[in-house]
Every structure is written in structure tokens, then in C-alpha cells.
Chains A and B, each alone.
Chain A
Amino acid sequence: NAGVTQTPKFQVLKTGQSMTLQCAQDMNHEYMSWYRQDPGMGLRLIHYSVGAGITDQGEVPNGYNVSRSTTEDFPLRLLSAAPSQTSVYFCASSTDRASSKNIQYFGAGTRLSVL
């Protein structure tokens, strides 16, 4: 049982490049989410999904796309990277609903730098 796995751990991009951050969980969790963490800003929700085929926007969705074709995977796509997207990205999952009694499990993070 690996929990929540994020790849890659580190990535450097040039402005305008696109890429996909991968997130997979093996706990059969329905709820998955993506956060970005910036110094002094805490964690800000980018997108979330309450189940396969269902996604919704969080607090800071601009410049990011998500899809949820399976329960296990929730990739985050940067369409055209900008320096403002330099951050640490965390994926999290929980059993069904984020606001219920369920604990969110976090991946180890992806450190992204956009030059």
C-alpha cells in the first residue's frame, strides 16, 4: 500500500512549456485534490474531484487543467507554464468527501520551478 504517489519530485520548466504532474493513490479513495504551497500563503486548493469523471475548481484554478478518468489517478496539467507557477504542488486523497470525517492523505510533493 503506497498511499499517494506524486511524480516527478522535481521539475524545471521554461516559460510557455506544458507538462503534467502525476498523482496516483491505491487506497480506493473517491476524493482527490491538488494544492499549491507558497511561502507565507499556506496551501491553496487548485482543483478537486469527488469521483471518477467529476472535477471542480478550487481557489486558484487558472492555468491548470485536471481530469479524472479513473479512481486511482488525478493528473494536473500546466497548459503554458509561467514563473508565477513556481511552487510546491501537493496531491491529496480521502475516502469520500473532504468535509466529512475523513482524513486527507498527502503525497510527498512536486517542486516545480519555471524559468
Chain B
Amino acid sequence: AQSVTQLDSQVPVFEEAPVELRCNYSSSVSVYLFWYVQYPNQGLQLLLKYLSGSTLVKGINGFEAEFNKSQTSFHLRKPSVHISDTAEYFCAVSDPYRDDKIIFGKGTRLHILP
């Protein structure tokens, strides 16, 4: 079964500094990978997704992620964070050959420091 690990439960970073949120998934022949963001008191919304093709995926709000098959990672990055990026970020994985579910990581809370 697929699984996903987010190594950091919380990440503090100063405003305008770069950030990387780490995500590793269990190895499989093929995967679909996702990053979702949850702003305070809201539901989740999709930031970006990797299905196939280019390993560098660009999403909304200046975020990007790189799919690394050899390291089974899909880390999320942003070159300069803003206070409005304060949120919880979830990495998720699914199996393209099964039509049942997406597996979510436990989340990383991003704290932006002034």
C-alpha cells in the first residue's frame, strides 16, 4: 500500500526567506503526487500535482515541487515566503492503476516569522 511521510510537523521561516517542505513516499512503479494547502479554518485546496512528464512542477502562489524518483521524494519549495503563506501543507500520493483513494501525509505547519 502507498504511504507518504512528511518529515517536519512544523517549519518556522522568516518572511521573504526561502522554504522547503519535505515529502517522501513509499516506492512504487508509478505514482501520482500532490501538494494541498489548508488555510486556517478552511478546507484543503490543490497547490500542484505531478502526473507524468517534467519532474519540476509549478503550482499556484509561486510554489513548485520536484519529483525525484530515485529518492522517492516530492519536496515543495518557494523562493520567498509571505505572511499569507501561513497554512498547513499536505503531501499526498495515489496509485494511477487503482481507482480508490488518495493517501495524505500528516501535514507540515508553516509558520512565517515577521
Contacts and interface: CB of A to CB of B under 8 A. Distances in A.
Nearest to A90: B43
Q: A interface, how many residues as a size bin?
A: 20 to 34
Contacts of A104: 36, 44, 46, 102
A103 interface: yes
A98 B94 contact: yes
Main secondary structure of the interface of B (DSSP, over half): loop
Interface in B68-114: 90, 94-102, 104-107
Interface of A: 4, 33, 35, 40-45, 48, 50, 56, 58, 90, 92, 97-101, 103-104, 106-109
Interface of B: 6, 9, 32, 36, 41-46, 49, 51, 90, 94-102, 104-107
Contacts of B43: 4, 90, 92, 106-109
A100 B99 contact: yes
A9 B94 CA distance: 29
B45 A100 contact: no
Given A33-B101, A48-B101, A103 B90 contact: no
Nearest to B102: A98
Contacts of B46: 103-104
Contacts of A45: 101
Contacts of A56: 100
A32 to B, nearest CB: 12
Given A103-B46, A104-B46, A106-B43, A43 B99 contact: no
